[in-house]
Every structure is written in C-alpha cells, then in structure tokens.
Structure 1
Amino acid sequence: MPEDSSALSRRHALKWLTGTVAAPLALGAAPNETEPAPPAYVNRFTMHDPDYTKPLSGPWDKVMTPEELKTTTALADLILPKDANGPAASEVGVPEFINEWISAPYEEQREDGQIVRGGLAWLNTESFRRHEKRFDELSAEQQGGIADDICDAAKAKPEHRVGAAFFALFRQLSLGGYYTHSSTWKHLGYVGNVSMGGPYPGVPKEVIEKYGLQDVA
C-alpha cells in the first residue's frame, strides 16, 4: 500500500469503527434511587497519536500468505484493471486493504477471512484443474474464463457455488478498498473540496430541474 496518509487513515478508521460498533453497553451504578446513571461505553482501545514515521505499522498481524496475496492481486486487478478511468486495484493498495480487513480481530472480519482465504484456495484448485497453473500465473483470458463462472451467484453451477459466494464478497471488498483512495474518485464524478473564486454561483440549473425544484420559491 502506498505510504501516504490515506492508507493510515483507512487503517485507523477501520480499527476505531469496528471497535465502536462492537463496544458493549454497560450501565453504571445510579448515584441515587431516583436518578439513573447515564450509559457508559467501554473503550476497547486507548486513543493515541499515530506514529507517522511508521505509516505501515498496523494494529494487528496480517494473516495472508505471500501466495494468497499473489492470487488476491491477480483477481483484484482482473475486477478493477488499469484503464482510462483510473489505476489498477493493486496500484492503490486493494490487496493490502483486503488483507488488513480480514486480519482484523473482530467476528465479522474473521468470518470474511474464512470466506476469502477459503475462496482463494478454491480459485487455485480450479485453476490447476483447468490449466495446471496457479490463478496468478494464468493469462487474462484464462482468468476471465474462471471468473465468468463465479461472477453471478444466481447463474453459477452447483460445483461453482462456493467460488461464487467467495467472488461476491471479494468483489465487494475490492470496490470498497478501491474507492476509498483519492486517485479513483474522478471515476465516480466526485470532485471533493475544491476552492471556488468569486461569489457562490448557486445550485446548477440541471440539478434543480432534476429534482423538480425550479418552481419552488
């Protein structure tokens, strides 16, 4: 993952968000019999200033093996290749994002990790069955042939359903990681915070008309 502040922010956002969602609610002792104490949320983490001299140091160990990362990179780049709209998934750290996500020590991430790592194993097994090579060693056409069989769970054959369930989650994680990187926002039409010179021009006419607000005083 590129050594920039966006990578660090994403890591800590994941840590704090999942910690907050998982924090149990604990009721404190009432100060008296008529006034109940306000609810207190248990802090699972101690807030601290991040060490920006070590932007890639994370709060948990990563679980993927080098071989799993190779397969993850190949599939992520197949789903989100480099084109006129933006960089390839691997260029913005999507494989590292997925590795970090499934390595997080929370129940949801553990379940995702089982699906992703099991799916990567399934993908390589299927690749060897068809072409006697690992998935990351196949041509783009060969990779696409396998992906075509698992990209739609509703149409997947019974023998491909495990792969289809994996692909659905992997695609979701890939898109989530990809579009949290600022270099991909242009593809979405998101401009971000851009300073404007002169007076505020107001809401564009086409937006007003789209929502039928042109006659609103």
Structure 2
Amino acid sequence: MDRRTTLQWMLAASAALGVPVSAGATPATRKGAKPTGYGTDPKLTQSYKSGELWPLTFNAAQNRTAQALCGLIIPADAQSPSAAQLQVHRFIDEWVSAPYPDQAQDRPVIIDGLAWLEAESAKRFGGKRFDQLDVAQQSQIADDICWTETAKPEFAAAAKFFQRFRDLTAGGFYTTPEGMKDVGFVGNTPSVTFDGPPLKVLQIVGVA
C-alpha cells in the first residue's frame, strides 16, 4: 500500500467520521489569536514515500498491537477480510501522525491506549503481548473497556481510548472497497440503464 493510497483513505474516512482534515484554523485561531499554520495539504495526485510528508508515529510494537486490535474489532467473515488484513492500522498511524488539530488530539489517546493494552496483556497473561493472545484472551481485556458508560473507574481512560480506536477502525474499514462492498455501498455506479425520455414525452415537447 503506497502513501498516496493511505492519504486518500484518510481523507475519505475523515469525511465519514465528520472530522475536517484540511489546512485552516489551528487551536490558536479558534481563540482569536494569530494563526501559526501547519503548511499546505499534500497533493494527492502524486506519490510520496513513507515519512516524506510527516513522520509516522507507530513503532514496530505499536503497529503489532494496533493491527491485532483492528482484527479483534472487525474480524474476517464470509463477506469480507478483517480490518487487520486490510491494514487499517496503517490508516490509524497516518491519522494520528497528521499535523492537524483534531488528529493531534487523538495522538496521545491512541498511543497511551496501546501502551495500556500491552501492559494489561502482560499483567493478565504472564507477560504475553496483546498480539500473542488468542481471541478469547483479547476479548477478555476488550470487554472491560468496550463501553465508556459501563467501564469501571480504573478503566475509564482505557475505555475512552477504545471508543476512539473503534471509531477510527470502522471509519478506515468502511471506506475501503472491501468495506463498502460489505455494507452494499455502490457509490456513483448507475443501477439502471437510461435510454432517454419516453417517446410520448419527446412528442409533447416537439422533438420527436
């Protein structure tokens, strides 16, 4: 997957998530201060090498954890591959690395959450990494943080992380061709053949 593809994916998902991803107001601007800016948006008609536009955030360990969690949130089924197989974690890395205010707010939430997930996995399962756990073990951790409304106080921060990560996973997955096919979205593909107005209508307007 090249960088242009992940950037286009990120922009499509941002529209689905209802989050603006474009040059504009920084937090300082919103408070009435003089904006500092963060440069121009990338040109999506050309290809870029990884890290050429902005450095990516995830290291190898974080990529493994993020990919495993993506696969747990949207597993493979008879209709489509899993979010892990579709490399949705790369989209999330691109997202939290982007130099925009909303993405910058997500970055510490995701990074701290992945660290918590690894620590919790090691504590509960004898030092194992999250990606080394089976689905039942991963689910045991996820069940404690899957809803912010019902999570225990000690899991409150982790539950907020999971909520945001789940939203990003869904946003990334359902803006891939496979994800759109999974929900039956066909975009601007015509569903019927149009042969023009009926003859009677053409006769009424005097062109037939």
Separation in 1 of the partners of 2:111 and 2:3? 27
Which residue in 2 is equivalent to 1:7?
6
- Of residues 111-120 and 83-92 in structure 1, the stretch that sits farther from structure 2 once superposed is 83-92
Whichever residue aligns with residue 168 of structure 1, its letter is Q
Q: How does 1:95-106 map to 2 (within 5 A)?
A: 95-106=89-100
Aligned-residue CA RMSD in angstroms?
2.8
Separation in 1 of the partners of 2:163 and 2:107? 13
Alpha-carbon deviations, 1:127-176, whole Å to 9, x = none? 11110211111111100110011101111111211211110010011111
Aligned to 1:197, which of 193, 200, 203? Answer: 193
Tell me: CA distance 1:153–1:46, structure 2 relative to 1, closer, same or farther (3 Å). Answer: closer
- Of residues 119-128 and 187-196 in structure 1, the stretch that sits farther from structure 2 once superposed is 187-196
Q: Are residue 134 (structure 1) and residue 137 (structure 2) matched? A: no
Tell me: CA distance 1:56–1:85, structure 2 relative to 1, closer, same or farther (3 Å). Answer: farther
Q: Are residue 77 (structure 1) and residue 71 (structure 2) matched? A: yes
Name structure 2 gaps, 5 residues minimum. 15-19, 31-36, 197-208
Structure 1 position 21, deviation (Å): 4.1
Instruction: Tell me if structure 1 keeps the 8 A contact 2:50–2:56.
Output: no
Q: How does 1:1-217 map to 2 (within 5 A)?
A: 2-3=1-2, 6-11=5-10, 17-22=20-25, 44-45=39-40, 48=43, 50-52=45-47, 54=48, 58-132=52-126, 133-195=128-190, 196-199=192-195
Instruction: Tell me if structure 2 keeps the 8 A contact 1:11–1:58.
Output: no
Larger radius of gyration: 1
TM-score, length-normalised on structure 1? 0.72
Separation in 1 of the partners of 2:39 and 2:154? 42
Tell me: CA distance 1:101–1:135, structure 2 relative to 1, closer, same or farther (3 Å). Answer: same
Whichever residue aligns with residue 25 of structure 2, its letter is A
Which residue in 1 is equivalent to 2:34?
none
Secondary structure of the 2:175 match is: coil
Instruction: Tell me if structure 1 keeps the 8 A contact 2:63–2:89.
Output: yes
Separation in 1 of the partners of 2:86 and 2:165? 16
The number of aligned residues is: 181
TM-score, length-normalised on structure 2? 0.75
Instruction: Tell me if structure 1 keeps the 8 A contact 2:10–2:172.
Output: no
Instruction: Tell me if structure 2 keeps the 8 A contact 1:8–1:55.
Output: no
Name structure 1 gaps, 5 residues minimum. 26-41, 201-217
Whichever residue aligns with residue 193 of structure 2, its letter is G
The structure with higher relative contact order (CA 8 Å, sep 6+) is 2
Tell me: CA distance 1:141–1:199, structure 2 relative to 1, closer, same or farther (3 Å). Answer: same
**% identical aligned pairs:** 36
Separation in 1 of the partners of 2:43 and 2:162? 37
